[in-house]
């Protein structure tokens, strides 16, 4: 050490100093970051930090009306499950319902009122006072106002009604793309009943579904999935399921028999089966002769020829449906979205009637009146009423439009001219929670709470065979500067000087008032106790059933036109039928901004994100396209592009596309992803129901020469000798694993 | 020279840990556990009511404090600070002293139910004017206690790391 010179000494001091500093900083960085412990100033009564609080409410993700239980901690919603007491969901919930959290916490939610700045053409944040003032001012000077919303059930509908009533001339219109208008009209014409019946899948032993994908989106998928499970494994004879549809859906894949029929001829097939049952002596009513002659045109030979279904299959289904009791036939989805949609619904009702399935357990049961005074269905408008709106807007006879939580610019075909019509309406205000395609065209946006932040009540549709109502309550405090839609309407009415038009101070008051009447009709105890137990249960039921005997007059069927559907586009130029289909993931497009739904593999193709077009392997080979080739799908009314998914379970002259993606707005996750098949369908309607015949458009398919990577979870859909799909032949186990497997030969592209 | 630098690092690390432990941060109000839990013998769970019910012991809400301080010692400057929070309806932003990493699952409820004294992990809080982290709340302390009391599955990884 003695020979350390001055220079060396300074070096060592420097090194030591740097070392000490580095060590100090290292220790500092290893410390926990500063965390706070912030108590409430005044905690809610039931609050315990670290302990979850559950609230029962009603799911708002689709119109099925499942009961939900939401787990909250420290005032934040954490998880949504099904409410075990609710007869629709019985403790279960679908994926879209679970993703309700991503609606609540969505980064693209509108967080304050917005005003369109005329000069820049973009929105600027505003206060509620400014926004309400602007809307009230515009409505005061407007002669013709249209209030357009999603389907609203329960007492909230009363606020809408009274609000519209307070304006000098206002039209109230509820529009949902996925609403089964044809079923409603079909039931009214067949049985004279306005509400949907209960389809008792749980107790049926033989279900024939004509196009209704009841496990993946059709009207009440959670309840129907429960029913399917009970029918299959409920400790009794196993239910037998037949699915008639041109493209295999989830329900088709779960069925015992999948029957592809020409698109739009599902009703014909139902009448053909009914005719067989009558001919085999399966119908013994007094009007048997009338039915025999009414159904005579639907003999097995002609039905088989027109539907493309082998006559043996028709006969087998007829025998099975006649002899297996109880049976049930249902229809919906694309089958009722043809120009003969109502006829198909009536035909299926006829089949149920002939087979004796009406009014019995395991068949169709009618729903009694709801405990609530209003169901809100009265203002429901089909596509046709929006087409009328377009006409009026083009004439300039609509001065203002108020739109809430429905997105017709996305769900209406481009051919309908809705977007152009909306531009002609001088004043548009939106009360939606997201910047969807329709809201983006508004002048003022007054964003509403999500369903997890608002009061409401509901009558599930379809019901469950007895009288049920449910209440939805806020499970968290509002996250942003939004308002309950009912409160916004009350505020606008008050600002216009119509404060007496709506007798309630808030939505909560309105809902509570409605349930006071329910309580007066037979609730027990005092109202406060009733209300408390109602909110705790989340649902209220009365054991009232509708056991009326109905009869179906043969003249209803006789009055039907020839049941052949018509298509837009000639077969030579447009050789394929476009089969758009809805799913539980995207519903009518509202799932497209939820990352969980985008990440969730489609149940049949396992594709995540983006859109695709399903093409039969034979067709794909004829067209010279492979999986992942981007093709252009063109109708007379436009074209979209999508990558090919080679799908063996689709008829060769049908191409199928999922509905829900292809948004130009709706936030960062939805925007510019996938394509929207609805944009190219022809604006033709089913005359009887006025609903859009969105499955009746012919298209052509042309390769673009581009390729896209389809992100699928399944990898290769063929078995390729990997022993992953093992089947046993007659002598089970005799040959063991060395046996040649009966794998399904599927012709796909050359390897 | 490298050795000197390394030795320096060790010294620096030790100096930080020894003289700047960060275990008794400056709180928004100079609250004294000694006055409350020590001199006046208020039981821990009078204020930390959640400890026997929840994973977290919680800190008392402002209205809990005001339950006494509307009447008691209202003129002291630190109590005035509290009253200011109360009057503006704001919570007191206390800083955590005892904090386990996020990968440790610890529940107060279970330990209170088992009769473990608060002081076992938190030290003699009733004698501290300013609370600091005195007991070494590390995995060793948990395991030693679990072994000593023969806790069922007490040394399984998944008991705490789940």
Listed in sequence order, the DSSP H helices in A341-407 are: 341-354, 383-395
CA distance A421 to A398: 10
A195, two tokens: 């509400």
pLDDT for A731: 40
- CB pair distance less than 8 Å for B94 and A36: yes
Peptide bond between residue A462 and the one before it cis (omega within 30 degrees of 0) = yes
Q: In a structure prediction context, what are the per-residue pLDDT tens digits for chain B, which is 162 residues long?
A: 788 888 888 888 877 777 776 667 889 999 999 999 999 999 999 999 889 988 988 899 999 999 999 999 999 999 999 999 999 999 999 998 888 888 999 999 999 999 999 998 998 999 999 888 877 778 998 999 999 999 999 999 999 998
- State residue A430 phi and psi, 5-degree precision: -120, 140
CA distance linking residue A66 with residue A94, whole number of Å: 9
Of B2, B14, B93, the CB nearest to A38: B93
Model pLDDT, residue A734: 37
Two tokens, residue A385: 């009423």
Question: The tokens 């204020």 sit on which residue?
Answer: B47
Residue B32 covered by a domain: yes
- Spatial separation of the C-alpha atoms in residues A182 and A694, rounded to whole Å: 12
Beta carbons of A89 and A82 less than 8 angstroms apart: yes
* DSSP three-state, residue A269: helix
Residues in chain A, overall count: 751
CB A464 within 8 A of CB A88: yes
**A27 vs B contacts (CB less than 8 Å):** 12-13, 16-17
Two structure tokens written together for B65: 């404090």
Three-state DSSP class for A556?
A: helix
| Structure tokens that stand for A292 in this block | 């025999």
Is B143 inside any structural domain? yes
Q: Between chains, do B101 and A32 touch, taking CB under 8 Å as contact?
A: yes
Whether A735 has its CB under 8 Å from any CB of chain B: the answer is no
Let me know: does A82 contact A93? Beta carbons within 8 Å.
yes
Of A19, A36, A50, the CB nearest to B7: A19
**Distance from C-alpha of A123 to C-alpha of A444, rounded to nearest angstrom:** 8
Nearest to B12 among A20, A42, A43 (CB): A20
- The CB-based long-range contact list for A556-560 (8 Å cut-off, 24+ gap) reads A556/A189, A556/A190, A556/A346, A556/A350, A557/A271, A557/A294, A557/A295, A557/A346, A557/A347, A557/A350, A558/A294, A560/A343, A560/A346, A560/A347
Q: Is residue B98 part of a domain?
A: yes
Q: Assign 3-state DSSP to chain B and report helix, strand, coil percentages, each to 5.
A: 50, 0, 50
For residue A265, the SS3 value is coil
User: What letters, b where the CB count within 10 A reaches 16 and e where it falls short, cover B33-51?
Assistant: bbebbbeeeeebeebbbbb
A47: nearest Cα among B60, B99, B89? B60
What is the count of structural domains for chain B?
A: 1
Q: Which residues of A touch B7 (CB under 8 A)?
A: 16, 19
Strand partners, A68: A57, A82
Structure tokens at A464: 């469950």
Q: Are A278 and A297 in contact (CB under 8 A)?
A: no
* B49 found inside a domain: yes
Residue B24 is predicted with a pLDDT of 74
CA distance linking residue A277 with residue A317, whole number of Å: 10
pLDDT digits (tens, 9 = 90+) for A170-199: 789 999 999 999 999 999 999 999 889 999
The DSSP symbol for A686 reads: -
ipTM of the complex model: 0.82
Q: Across-strand partners of A581? A: A658
Helices and strands (H, E) in chain B, number of each type: 9, 1
Q: Does A33 touch chain B (CB under 8 A)?
A: no
CA-to-CA dists, residue A720 to A20, A535, A603, A717, angstroms: 65, 55, 21, 9
Chain B CB within 8 Å of residue A4 CB:
no
| C-alpha torsion A301→A303→A305→A311, nearest 10 | -60
Chain B residues with CB under 8 Å of A28 CB are 16, 20
Q: Hey, is the C-beta of A46 within 8 angstroms of any chain B C-beta?
A: no
The answer to whether position B46 is within a domain reads: yes
C-alpha of A225 from chain center: 15
> What's the pLDDT tens digit per position in A120-160?
889 999 999 999 999 999 999 999 999 999 999 999 999 99
pLDDT score at A722? 80
Positions of chain A with pLDDT under 50: 729-751
The residue with tokens 């531009």 is A423
In this complex, which of B1, B13, B61 lies closest to A12 when CB atoms are compared? B1
SS3 content of chain A, % helix, strand, coil (to 5): 35, 20, 45
Residue B157, chain A, CB below 8 Å: the answer is: no
- Which positions 91-110 of B are in contact with A (Cβ < 8 Å)? 91-96, 99, 101, 108
Query: B-chain residues within 8 Å CB-CB of A19?
Result: 4-9, 11-12
Joined tokens for residue A522:
């037979």
The residues, ordered by sequence, that sit 6+ positions from A581 with a Cβ below 8 Å of its Cβ are: A213, A247, A249, A333, A334, A656, A657, A658, A659
Q: Do the domain assignments include residue B117?
A: yes
CA distance A432 to A447: 5
Residues 50-69 of B with CB under 8 A from A: 50, 53-56, 58-63
CA A269 from centroid of its chain's CA atoms: 26
- Provide the residue range defining the domain that includes B132: 25-59+94-150
Q: Helix/strand/coil (H, E, C) string of A457-480?
A: EECCCCCCCEEEEEEECCCCCCCC
Render pLDDT for A41-58 as a digit per residue (tens, 0 to 9).
Answer: 888 777 788 888 899 999
Say what the pLDDT of residue A749 is: 36
Distance, in Å, from the CA atom of A84 to the CA atom of A550, rounded to the nearest integer, reads: 33
Residues of chain B contacting A20 with CB distance shorter than 8 Å? 8-9, 11-12, 15
Instruction: Annotate B13-46 with DSSP letters as a single string.
Output: HHHHHHH---SS---SS---HIIIIIIS---HHH
Mean pLDDT of chain A: 91
Q: What are A671's strand-pairing partners?
A: A663
Q: Do B50 and A50 touch (CB under 8 A)?
A: yes
Query: pLDDT value at position A235?
Result: 80
Judged by a CB distance cut-off of 8 A, whether residue B18 touches chain A is no
Give the chain A residue whose CA is nearest to the CA of B67: A42
Closest CA to A591 of A534, A667, A523, A536: A667
* Cβ pairs bridging A and B (under 8 Å): 121
Is A579 within 8 Å of A612 (Cβ atoms)?
no
Q: Does A34 touch chain B (CB under 8 A)?
A: yes
Q: Comparing C-alpha atoms, which of A291, A351, A185, A340 is closest to residue A555? A: A291
Q: How far apart are CA A300 and CA A716, in angstroms?
A: 40
3-state secondary structure of B107: coil
pLDDT for the residue numbered B21: 64
Peptide bond into A182 cis (omega under 30): no
> Quick one: pLDDT at residue B134?
78
Cα A66 to Cα A185: distance, rounded to the nearest angstrom: 24
Q: Does residue B69 sit within a domain?
A: no
Q: What distance in Å separates residue A243's CA from the closest CA in chain B?
A: 45
User: Does B70 touch chain A if contact means CB atoms closer than 8 Å?
Assistant: no
Contacts 24+ apart (CB under 8 A), B137-142: B137/B98, B137/B100
Asked if residue A427 lies in contact with residue A401, where contact means CB atoms within 8 angstroms, the answer is yes
Under 8 Å between Cβ of A106 and A434: yes
**A631, containing H or E segment:** strand A629-635
User: Does B145 fall in a domain?
Assistant: yes
Q: How many residues does chain B have?
A: 162
Could A48 and B53 be called an inter-chain contact, meaning their C-beta atoms sit closer than 8 Å?
yes
Of chain A, the end-to-end C-alpha distance in Å amounts to 77
* Residues B53, A51: C-beta atoms closer than 8 Å: yes
């Amino acid at each position: 050490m003695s020979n350390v010179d001055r220079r060396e000494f300074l070096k060592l001091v420097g090194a030591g100093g740097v070392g000490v500093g580095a060590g100090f900083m290292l220790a500092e960085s290893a410390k926990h970051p500063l965390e706070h412990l912030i108590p409430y100033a005044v905690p809610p009564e039931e609050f315990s930090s670290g302990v979850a609080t559950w609230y029962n409410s009603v799911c708002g993700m689709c119109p099925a009306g499942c009961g939900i239980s939401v787990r909250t901690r420290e005032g934040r919603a954490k998880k949504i499950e099904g409410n075990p007491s609710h007869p629709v969901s019985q403790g279960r919930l679908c994926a879209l319902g679970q993703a309700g959290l991503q609606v609540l916490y969505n980064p693209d939610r509108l967080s304050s009122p917005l005003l369109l700045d005329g000069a820049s053409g973009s929105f600027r944040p505003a206060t509620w006072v400014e926004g309400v003032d602007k809307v009230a001012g515009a409505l005061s000077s407007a002669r013709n106002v249209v209030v357009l919303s999603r389907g609203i059930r329960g007492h909230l509908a009363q606020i809408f009604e009274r609000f519209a009533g307070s304006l000098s001339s206002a039209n109230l219109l509820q529009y949902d793309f996925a609403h089964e208008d044809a079923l409603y009209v079909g039931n009214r014409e067949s049985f004279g009943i306005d509400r949907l019946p209960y389809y008792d899948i749980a107790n049926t032993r033989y279900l024939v579904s004509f196009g209704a994908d009841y496990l993946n989106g059709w009207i009440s998928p959670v309840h129907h999935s429960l029913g399917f499970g009970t029918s299959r494994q409920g400790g009794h004879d196993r239910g037998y399921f037949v699915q008639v549809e041109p493209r295999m859906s989830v329900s088709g894949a779960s069925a015992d028999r999948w029957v592809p029929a020409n698109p739009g001829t599902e009703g014909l097939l139902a009448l053909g089966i009914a005719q067989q049952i009558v001919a085999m002596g399966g119908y013994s009513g007094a009007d048997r002769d009338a039915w025999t002659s009414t159904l005579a045109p639907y003999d097995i030979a002609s039905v088989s020829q027109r539907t493309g279904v082998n006559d043996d299959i028709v006969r087998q289904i007829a025998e099975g449906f006649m002899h297996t009791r109880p049976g049930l036939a249902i229809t919906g989805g694309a089958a009722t979205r043809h120009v003969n949609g109502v006829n198909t619904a009536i035909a299926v009702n006829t089949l149920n009637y002939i087979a004796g399935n009406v009014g019995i357990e395991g068949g169709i049961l009618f729903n009694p009146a709801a405990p609530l005074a209003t169901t809100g269905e009265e203002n429901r408008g089909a596509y046709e009423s929006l087409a009328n709106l377009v006409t009026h807007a083009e004439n300039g006879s609509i001065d203002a439009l108020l739109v809430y939580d429905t997105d017709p610019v996305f769900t209406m075909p481009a051919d309908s001219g809705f977007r152009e019509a909306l531009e002609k309406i001088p004043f548009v205000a939106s009360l939606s929670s997201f910047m969807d395609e329709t809201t983006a065209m508004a002048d003022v946006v007054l964003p509403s709470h999500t369903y997890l932040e608002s009061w409401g009540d509901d009558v599930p549709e379809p019901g469950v065979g007895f009288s049920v109502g449910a209440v939805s309550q806020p499970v968290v405090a509002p996250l942003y500067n939004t308002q309950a839609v009912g409160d916004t309407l009350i505020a606008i009415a008050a600002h216009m000087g119509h404060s007496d038009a709506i007798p309630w101070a808030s939505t909560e008051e309105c809902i509570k008032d409605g349930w006071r009447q329910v309580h007066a009709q037979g609730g027990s105890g005092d109202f406060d106790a009733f209300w408390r137990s109602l909110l705790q249960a989340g649902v209220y039921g009365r054991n009232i059933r509708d056991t009326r005997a109905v009869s179906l007059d043969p003249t209803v069927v006789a009055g039907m036109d020839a049941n052949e559907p018509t298509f837009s586009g000639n077969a030579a130029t447009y050789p394929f039928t476009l089969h758009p289909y809805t799913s539980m993931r995207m519903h009518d497009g509202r799932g497209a901004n939820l990352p969980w739904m985008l990440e969730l593999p489609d149940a049949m193709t396992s594709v995540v994100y983006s859109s695709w077009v399903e093409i039969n392997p034979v067709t794909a080979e004829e067209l010279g396209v492979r999986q992942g080739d981007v093709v252009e799908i063109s109708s007379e009314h436009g074209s979209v592009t999508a990558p090919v998914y080679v799908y063996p379970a689709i008829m060769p002259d049908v191409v199928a596309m999922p509905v829900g993606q292809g948004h130009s707005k709706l936030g960062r996750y939805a925007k510019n992803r996938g394509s929207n098949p609805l944009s190219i369908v022809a604006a033709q309607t089913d005359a009887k129901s006025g609903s859009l015949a969105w499955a009746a458009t012919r298209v052509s398919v042309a390769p673009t020469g581009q390729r896209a990577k389809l992100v699928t979870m399944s990898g290769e859909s063929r078995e390729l000798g990997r022993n992953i799909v093992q089947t046993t032949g007659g002598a089970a186990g005799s040959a063991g694993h060395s046996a040649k497997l009966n794998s399904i030969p599927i012709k796909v592209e050359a390897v | 020279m490298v050795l000197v630098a390394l030795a320096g690092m060790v010294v620096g690390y030790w100096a930080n840990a020894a003289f700047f432990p960060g275990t008794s941060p400056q709180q928004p109000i100079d609250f004294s556990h000694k006055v409350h839990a020590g001199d006046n013998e208020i039981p821990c769970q009078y204020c930390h009511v959640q400890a026997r019910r929840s994973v977290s012991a919680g800190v008392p809400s402002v209205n809990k404090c005001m339950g006494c301080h509307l009447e008691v010692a209202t003129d002291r400057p630190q109590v005035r600070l509290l009253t200011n929070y109360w009057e503006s309806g704001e919570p007191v932003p206390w800083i955590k002293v005892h904090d386990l990493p996020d990968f440790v699952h610890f529940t107060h409820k279970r330990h209170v139910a088992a009769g473990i004294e608060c002081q076992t992990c938190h030290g003699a809080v009733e004698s501290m004017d300013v609370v600091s982290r005195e007991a070494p709340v590390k995995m060793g302390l948990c395991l030693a206690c679990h072994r000593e009391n023969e806790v069922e599955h007490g040394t399984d990884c998944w008991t705490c790391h789940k």
